[in-house]
Amino acid sequence: MRIRRTAARSALLLLSGLAVACLPPWGAALAEEDRGGVKVTFLANEGVLLEADGEAVMIDGFVTEPYSEYGALPDETAAALAGTQAGDGRFDSVVLALVSHVHRDHFQPEPAAIFLRGHPDAQLVSSPQVLAALAGDGEFANARSLLPKPGETEKLRQGKIEVEILRLRHGGRAWGEIENLGHLIHLGGQTILHIGDADTAAGNFAAYDLASREIDLALIPYWFFWPEGGRQTVKNHLVGRYTAAVHIPPKDFDEIAKALAKSHPNVRVPKVLESFELE
């Protein structure tokens, strides 16, 4: 979703007066049961790499060129994704690549095509719109589309990774025809929620009863924490054990991170390539 930076800055002035969200502090003591573990690495915009038990799933990771005000993978990381960085196999464990929607700050078909050709055992799964964009770079046996009906889910399994795909309306009237997917990813004993550029309205999530799903990490676009955004939606539908604010324009990162530190101090604001262990 493209957000005007002037609107972002005006919202920042209001964020400082928000009440602190009732979320668990990052790094707080966990429950006693064995949850396993997942290495989480943040990529560009809403991109994330999740690794556990020798397998990885990547979401919205095929972004190697900046688009609008949004960023891209650093050159060295983009080279590793393409397989041209000698000795750098950080993406070799990816068995599943997911894409929330077709906008170029989430998906660029050129790096996706290079990756799929170099990793024939990995699968890309996304919407028909994403697959249509990818088709311009050739045919791929390791790419397929899944599009649940609104309010329903589609499930898939790749290796040890299980995914529930949600159909979530894209935010903004101009993007009403965009097929936006949310994902509940289950791996390493953890459940991670990724919602793409979902509309902030609570009704967009109500059918999925996410509040009862014991989400370990919720990845939420930063504008959900604006006063006029989706704060109540986050509180009522999207809270995980831990929450991270994502999709921050690079030029506004410091300002937004500072504002969120005041209004939502328990929400992580990760930088590109920041990693941590979710246990």
Residue 279 token pair: 């246990």
pLDDT tens by residue, 161-179: 999 999 999 999 888 899 9
pLDDT, mean over the chain: 89
For tokens 């999530």, name the residue: 205
Integer-rounded Cα radius of gyration of the chain: 18
- Of all residues in the chain, what percent carry a pLDDT higher than 70? 87
C-alpha to C-alpha distance for 254 and 273, rounded to whole angstroms:
16
pLDDT tens by residue, 102-116: 999 999 999 999 999
In terms of phi and psi (left: phi > 0; alpha: psi -120 to 50; beta: otherwise), the region of 88 is: beta
Q: Which of 119, 66, 124, 70 is nearest to 97 (CA)?
A: 124
Residue range 137-154: mean pLDDT, rounded: 95
Give strand pairing partners of 181.
Answer: 167
pLDDT tens by residue, 61-83: 999 999 999 999 999 999 999 99
The DSSP line for 106-118 is: T--HHHHHHHHHH
C-alpha to C-alpha distance for 221 and 46, rounded to whole angstroms:
8
Residue partners of 99: CB distance under 8 A and separation at least 6 = 59, 60, 62, 106, 107, 112, 124, 125, 126, 127, 130, 181
Are 239 and 23 within 8 A, CB to CB?
A: yes
Are 102 and 129 within 8 A, CB to CB?
A: yes
C-alpha to C-alpha distance for 136 and 131, rounded to whole angstroms:
9
In terms of phi and psi (left: phi > 0; alpha: psi -120 to 50; beta: otherwise), the region of 161 is: beta
Q: What confidence score (pLDDT) does residue 35 get?
A: 60
C-alpha to C-alpha distance for 169 and 172, rounded to whole angstroms:
9
C-alpha to C-alpha distance for 61 and 102, rounded to whole angstroms:
12
10 Å Cβ neighbour count for 19?
8
